[in-house]
Amino acid sequence: MKRVLSVMTIICAVAMTAQSKVIRVGYTKSIRSIQQAVDLSQNGDTVLVDPGTYMEKNIIIQKSITLKGINYPVLDGENEFAIISVKTSNATIEGFRLQHTGRSEIRDLGAIMIYDSYKVCVLNNILEDTNFGVYVQNSKRCTIKDNSITAYGKDEVQSGNGIHCWRSDSLVIIGNKIKGHRDGLYFEFVKNSLIWRNVSTRNVRYGIHFMFSNRNTYVSNIFERNEAGVAVMYSKNIHMYNNHFLNNWGDAAYGILLKDITDSDISGNYFRKNTVGLHMEGCSRIELYKNIFNSNGWAVKIQASCDNNDFTRNNFLGNTFDIGTNGSLVLNTFTGNYWDKYEGYDLHKDNVGDIPYHPVSMYSMIIDSNPAALMLFRSLIVGLLDKTEKILPGVTPENLRDNKPVMKQIKL
């Protein structure tokens, strides 16, 4: 019986392929409207659009079709409308230039709006001066790949997000370049998704911002020069591998802010030239290993509300302060990391320091409660304070230490 069903499925698929057709749209064709071509199409058809500029209001796709542009035809929202809305399964939008969407305080408007859909693909499009770029709501198994998404936002209120995903499952977001939006990527109530090889830069707020989004994986993304860096909040089972957090400077800017994150792992990431490389608040049971913290203000700020987090085999290089904290109770472990400020010795020649390293300086504790003290940075009194604290510890948390600091930089 199963064999018969399989044969019938194949026959039906072949029949559908045989019946599918290509509908051409262009100024020299009999069909000049994209919406008209979509309305005439059937499931499995391809609507092929010639080069040109098309001023159409909110093209609606409710069929399993491929909408494909030749040499990037322009779809213009005239600064008033959404451009494409998708409410279907197994649809593809590929090869368009979408520009000048409308903006509204009442409803979300964007270039490509995907609602209640399944297996929709958005591939190789150029989005320019859009409010929301690609907007995904209550959808599953959608793919957003190799799109260029650029806006010119000046503040949070008047800007939308580059890729905005809400209450969705099993998304694949790969190889997109996002710039100038409120948040480059925004996820809320999104689960089981892969975010891979995206570049999110110069956004008004966060390069990526996600909340209440569990069991997601972030691999080989670049987040650079965003106003507030990256924020990851109220989620569990998060996996972040080989990402770059670069040049996020400002009073409230972080390479990455982790707030109320649990049961996750963060490895192979590179934090360079951020005000704070990694800020942790209310986090538990996170494994942090084989990361590089290079030339940050603070490499890591870990609040007293964090517990059972393990830092292992990380490199701390050229940071102004390696670790900062706001309390004396430490429930996290640091083991086998490389610290370029370590002044200990290795008599056993086993590449492990013979004395523990205390990465929290007295001066960093003072700055945490009195930011104005930063004006004393590089003064003689700061050096004397830190040397005194090492001999007679009294302010810095005694049990925040690496008992097995390694002598040589770890090759990752």
Q: List Cβ neighbours of 177 (8 Å cut-off, separation of 6 or more).
A: 147, 148, 149, 150, 198, 199
Answer yes or no: are the C-beta atoms of 361 and 294 closer than 8 Å: no
Give just the sign of the alpha carbon dihedral 391, 396, 399, 405.
negative
User: Per-residue pLDDT tens for 149-164?
Assistant: 999 988 887 789 999 9
pLDDT at residue 375 in the model: 54
Domains annotated for the chain, with CATH where assigned, are 52-391 (2.160.20.10)
| Average confidence (pLDDT) per 10 residues, the chain, 412 residues | 43 49 95 96 98 95 98 96 97 98 86 98 97 98 98 85 98 98 97 98 96 98 96 97 95 92 98 96 97 96 94 96 83 95 89 90 61 56 55 62 94 84
Structure token pair of residue 142: 């959608």
pTM for the complete prediction?
A: 0.89
Tokens of 175: 């190889």
According to the model, what pLDDT value does residue 325 have? 87
DSSP state of 164: E
Distances (CA, A) of 179 to 157, 160, 401: 17, 11, 40
Q: What is the DSSP string of 276-325?
A: EEEEEES-EEEEEES-EEES-SEEEEE-TT-EEEEEES-EEES-SEEEE-
Strand partners, 338: 315, 406
The token pair at 153 is 């936002």
pLDDT for res 338:
97
Determine the Cα–Cα distance for residues 222 and 242; give it in Å rounded to an integer. 9
pLDDT recorded at residue 372: 57
- Cβ neighbours for 127, distance < 8 A, ≥ 6 positions apart: 97, 98, 99, 111, 112, 133, 134, 147, 148, 149, 150
Q: Report pLDDT for 8.
A: 39
Element (H, E) at 389: helix 380-391
Burial class (CB in 10 A: 0-12, 13-18, 19+), 382: middle
Model confidence over 45-67: pLDDT tens digits? 999 999 999 999 899 999 999 99
Give the Cα separation of 86 and 98 in Å (integer).
15
Helix (H, G, I), strand (E, B) or coil at 131: coil
End-to-end Cα separation, the chain, in angstroms:
53
pLDDT at 103: 86
Provide the CB-side half-sphere exposure for 221 (13 A, CA): 27
